Amino acid sequence: MYQATVGQRGYRFGDLRQLMAKASPARSGDYLAEVAAQSAGERMAARIALADLPLKAFLQQALVPYEEDEVTRLIIDGHDAAAFEPISHLTVGDFRDWLLSEQADSAMMAQVAAGITPEMAAAVSKLMRNQDLILVAKKCRVVTRFRNTIGLPGHLSVRLQPNHPTDSLQGIAASMLDGLLYGSGDAVVGINPASDSLPLLEKLNYMLDDVIQRFAIPTQSCVLTHVTNTLRLIERGAPVDLVFQSIAGTEAANRSFGISLALLAEAQQAALSLRRGTLGDNVMYFETGQGSCLSANAHHGVDQQTCEARAYAVARHFSPLLINTVVGFIGPEYLYDGKQIIRAGLEDHFCGKLLGLPLGCDVCYTNHAEADQDDMDTLLTLLAAAGLTFLIGVPGADDIMLNYQSTSFHDALYIRELLGLKHAPEFAAWLAAMNITDERGRLCDAAANHPLLLALQGERT
């Protein structure tokens, strides 16, 4: 039992799950799940009680039962006690103060990351203002490598997302060319296929690999199909760079995705066996999003933001090259408007970086949400200031296959110009060598006889 008083009224919270849920900022998904605070007073009381809670409590009280959930077992059994030691004496409120202090510099943040559980990260985020989330995340540096180096300070990468509603190879190639000529694609060239046809998925893999190899592009490709399809593609000898999978924060939610920790481990080993990385062996790519556990009725009474943070424990176990929250994609049932989407994006980025992950974000919304592109401009700017690892680049910001609004190649140009952010260094050198950028890293005018344009014309004929 936890309790606190606000004004003249006392509030009680039956267990740690309820305390965490009531302390969360208001969002539609928690109201839908009937776990949200019913008033600002109750929310503040929960935060007061949460601030006094020792961090050690999260190692003693599982929000999702240990016996029922392999994600909980992963979190508890894999906890690094030595990394936790420097902060083990702190309460959640003290932890917030420590994170904002000069003592918690980038080196110290990296030292303690393995000792922080997702629940600790979620708890402290509930006590933070947006500016706190930004400032702390900025101090967390996470670098990963496959064919280039992602996550260096002062750098921002872009996933080139050339989706097509019929998986047309020519349509995808045109979008891919568009993105490359705008300097996008250093995170990954990643296609969300419309079909699960294995022969088609194989063609997509070969097409992406052909372009990357033909022009010696220091990047990686990924066809974002189910992990079981990727395993079959590897068995068929397809040129698979990264293994993709959507993941969630409970075993039951992951089961609804058709996955388990064992299956992800099998896929990771299969990808590593191909030895396609030239600079590193981070071969996994994950996507998450607040609301996935709730939508699968697999949240165990835990609020949606804490469930999201637990998904990062799954990702951390597999040392991914990339992981991003698709923050507004699930819809207004879970994040109702621009204000909720912005807050959720900052929370997700903070929690992921705090746990030692290369967190990116699909800054996005669905067309029936109470949000617009101005909200996305705001979130993009805040996340980039917070040290975002990568964002999504879609032609015109309008994904014509997934039918949602994201960010464009032009948005990436804007944020690089505003904050002086650089491409992955190997990719930057390639852009300059291809006369796509000049010596200052700014775009050149593409000539009609540019090799990439000529290649596309050849594909069409």
pLDDT confidence of residue 224: 98
Q: CA-CA distances (angstroms) from residue 411 to 150, 390, 415?
A: 19, 12, 6
Composition of the chain by helix, strand, coil, percent to 5: 50, 15, 40
Q: Taking 60 as the threshold, does the pLDDT of residue 461 lie above it?
A: no
Q: Give the Cα separation of 216 and 26 in Å (integer).
A: 48
pTM above 0.85, yes or no: yes
Note the pLDDT tens digit of each residue in 348-407.
Answer: 999 999 999 999 999 999 999 999 999 999 999 999 999 999 999 999 999 999 999 999
Nearest to 322 by CA among 252, 406, 392: 392
Q: What is the DSSP code string of 134-189?
A: HHHHHH----EESSSEE--TTB-EEEE----TT--HHHHHHHHHHHHHTT--SSEE
Q: Which residue has the higher pLDDT, 337 or 459?
A: 337
Q: Give the Cα separation of 96 and 94 in Å (integer).
A: 5
Pinpoint the alpha helices (H) of 78-117: 81-84, 92-99, 106-112
Contact yes or no for 168/204 (Cβ under 8 A) = no
Structure confidence at residue 458 as a pLDDT band (50, 70, 90) = low
Nearest to 219 by CA among 265, 263, 188: 188
Q: 């190649």: which residue's tokens? A: 409
Q: Taking 90 as the threshold, does the pLDDT of residue 460 lie above it?
A: no
What is the gyration radius of the CA atoms in the chain, in angstroms?
22
Note the pLDDT tens digit of each residue in 403-432.
Answer: 999 999 999 999 999 999 999 999 999 999
